[in-house]
């Protein structure tokens, strides 16, 4: 049973938590938000975060605004790491930008710049992920932090799953209680290497983490259900992702253009989050509806492919969607929120891959808070679809049939044309996804784990 408010009052002085997270501001992106928002609000619920992270992550976007949001709420310890993939990614990114421009000028490149032998070599050398060479530096620094600061609990957030291995070693050395947070599946993720040898090793590592962790936290209930079948003796709970009300201050005056039917997507499309059926659906509606053709605007904030890949961009161009679209590279989080408010419809896309029905993309909760109708191109029986239906946030059309997606686009466009779009989707029950409330649940979990350890 979790600790309650009275337990927090008894422990009025803040307890300390060693917070292990490779991905941490100023690194930007969806995977960072969960950790940074927990760190932001934990001090309000009796916990002082001691963040152990890396000095220079190998290749991610940067957003100084995210760091300003949390740096006064925690102590941040940044360590050295060996990052061999940094230079490979930089090279791929540089060449990718060049070839993207060539594609825009009708040049047809290969679908990917990534060398197959390098990808295979990486899967043999870096287990469980590219960040494994951070482990010795993080363990050494983490042990020193524990000796100096004497935290009551260790928390690790993954992916990358190296974070959990660092916490595992520190747990064994110090015998401190440990809460392991799974934002993503490990072995059962969609892009897990197609390698039987890796499957055996990573499943064993995953099982060891579940054996030693005092609490497993998952980002979705279906993820918890899946893990409970694999590891029935583990103690599991779910704390979802959410939205931070502070991010939505001064947005009330942001409105979409009245005559433009703008569909906005924020984030990166990759091979798993495949947008090609959505692109095909848009092309079908363009060919059938002249009014739609005059008023549609697609806006993509991020990338159509991972760096080095071009499959989605090539397909997008083959359908001649450029004149109806705007492609914008990465934007700071504040700007992304503003873009959501200027859309008529927000596109949520979760692709077809194993366990995809158990996935929330982090953006869904900020989409909910923006009060814009959502087009859910997601598994019909998944957790994302369930959230959209329960909150009356938009329509769910499934992710495997471009005709059904086209029907959904037309349905929303017709409501827009009749000026009935926003009033058709009045949000309800979204308060449970407030980041502050969710952090309260995490704090209660910490108290419960520590108290249980003290009683042993």
pLDDT digits 0-9 by tens, 413-422? 999 999 999 8
pLDDT for 5: 46
Q: Considering only the top CATH level, what class is 5-84+116-242+435-455?
A: alpha beta
pLDDT for 359: 78
Instruction: Tell me which H or E stretch contains 180.
Output: strand 178-182
The predicted-structure confidence for 178-210, as pLDDT tens digits, reads as follows 999 999 999 998 778 878 889 999 999 999 999
Whether pLDDT at 216 is above 70:
yes
- Count CA atoms within 13 Å of residue 261 on its CB side: 24
The answer to whether 5-84+116-242+435-455 and 245-432 have equal CATH topology is: yes
Residues linked to residue 50 through DSSP beta bridges, in sequence order:
18, 75
- Closest listed residue to residue 131, CA positions, set 60, 49, 33: 60
Compute the distance between CA of residue 411 and CA of residue 146 in angstroms, rounded to an integer: 57
pLDDT for 2: 46
Confidence tier at 11 by pLDDT (50, 70, 90): very low
Average pLDDT over residues 437-450: 97
Confidence tier at 110 by pLDDT (50, 70, 90): low
Whether pLDDT at 408 is above 50:
yes
- Higher per-residue pLDDT: 122 or 140: 140
pLDDT for 9: 40
Average pLDDT over residues 25-40: 91
pLDDT for 269: 84
Highest averaged pLDDT of the listed ranges 2-11, 288-297, 308-317: 288-297
Whether pLDDT at 212 is above 70:
yes
Whether pLDDT at 131 is above 50:
yes
Compute the distance between CA of residue 65 and CA of residue 58 in angstroms, rounded to an integer: 20
The predicted-structure confidence for 317-361, as pLDDT tens digits, reads as follows 899 999 999 998 888 999 999 999 999 999 999 887 777 787 777
3-state secondary structure of 90: helix
- Ranking 220-229, 244-253, 340-349 by mean pLDDT, the lowest is 244-253
- Ranking 92-96, 330-334, 374-378 by mean pLDDT, the lowest is 92-96
pLDDT for 88: 59
Confidence tier at 30 by pLDDT (50, 70, 90): confident
CB 181, CB 158: distance < 8 Å: yes
Confidence tier at 243 by pLDDT (50, 70, 90): very high
pLDDT for 337: 94
Compute the distance between CA of residue 347 and CA of residue 399 in angstroms, rounded to an integer: 12
Compute the mean pLDDT over every residue in the chain, rounded to the nearest whole number: 88
Count of other CB atoms within 10 angstroms of residue 201: 14
Confidence tier at 176 by pLDDT (50, 70, 90): very high
Average pLDDT over residues 215-226: 94
Q: Considering only the top CATH level, what class is 245-432?
A: alpha beta
What is the residue extent of each domain of the chain?
A: 5-84+116-242+435-455, 245-432
Between the two ends of the chain, the Cα-to-Cα distance in Å is: 15
3-state secondary structure of 153: strand
Compute the distance between CA of residue 61 and CA of residue 67 in angstroms, rounded to an integer: 13
């Amino acid at each position: 049973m979790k600790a309650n408010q009275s337990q927090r009052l008894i422990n009025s002085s803040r307890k300390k938590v060693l917070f292990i997270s490779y991905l941490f501001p100023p690194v930007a992106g969806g995977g960072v938000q969960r950790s940074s928002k927990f760190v932001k609000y934990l001090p309000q619920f009796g916990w002082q975060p001691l963040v152990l992270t890396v000095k220079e992550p190998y290749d991610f976007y940067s957003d100084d605004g995210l760091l300003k949001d949390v740096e006064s709420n925690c102590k941040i310890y940044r360590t050295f790491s060996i990052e061999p993939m940094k230079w490979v990614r930089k090279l791929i990114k540089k060449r990718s930008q060049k070839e993207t421009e060539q594609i825009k000028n009708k040049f047809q490149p290969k679908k990917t710049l990534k060398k197959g032998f390098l990808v295979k070599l990486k899967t043999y050398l870096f287990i469980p992920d590219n960040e494994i060479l951070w482990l010795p530096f993080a363990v050494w620094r983490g042990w020193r932090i524990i000796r100096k600061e004497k935290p009551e609990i260790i928390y690790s957030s993954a992916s990358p799953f190296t974070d959990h291995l660092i916490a595992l070693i520190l747990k064994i050395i110090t015998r401190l209680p440990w809460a392991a947070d799974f934002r993503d599946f490990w072995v059962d993720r969609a892009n897990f290497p197609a390698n039987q040898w890796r499957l055996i090793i990573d499943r064993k590592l995953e099982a060891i983490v579940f054996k030693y962790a005092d609490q497993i936290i998952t980002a979705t209930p279906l993820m918890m259900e899946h893990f409970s079948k694999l590891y029935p003796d583990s103690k599991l709970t779910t704390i979802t992702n959410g939205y931070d009300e502070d991010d939505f201050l001064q947005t009330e005056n942001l409105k979409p253009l009245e005559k433009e039917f703008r569909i906005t997507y924020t984030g990166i499309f990759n091979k798993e989050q495949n947008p090609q059926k959505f692109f095909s659906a848009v092309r079908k509606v363009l060919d059938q509806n002249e009014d739609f053709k005059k008023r549609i605007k697609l806006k993509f904030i991020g990338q159509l492919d991972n760096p080095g890949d071009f499959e989605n961009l090539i397909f997008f161009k083959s359908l001649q969607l450029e004149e109806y679209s705007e492609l914008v590279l990465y934007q700071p989080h504040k700007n992304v929120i503003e873009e959501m408010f200027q859309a008529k419809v927000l596109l949520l896309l979760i692709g077809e891959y194993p366990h995809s029905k158990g996935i929330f993309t982090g953006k869904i909760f900020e989409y909910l808070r923006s009060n814009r109708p959502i087009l859910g191109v997601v598994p019909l029986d998944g957790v994302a679809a369930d959230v959209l239906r329960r909150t009356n946030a938009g329509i769910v059309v499934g992710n495997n049939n471009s005709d059904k997606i086209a029907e959904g686009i037309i349905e929303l466009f017709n409501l827009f044309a009749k000026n009935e779009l926003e009033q058709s989707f009045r949000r309800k029950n979204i308060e449970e996804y407030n980041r502050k409330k969710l952090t309260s649940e995490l704090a209660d979990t910490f108290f419960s784990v520590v108290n249980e350890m003290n009683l042993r």
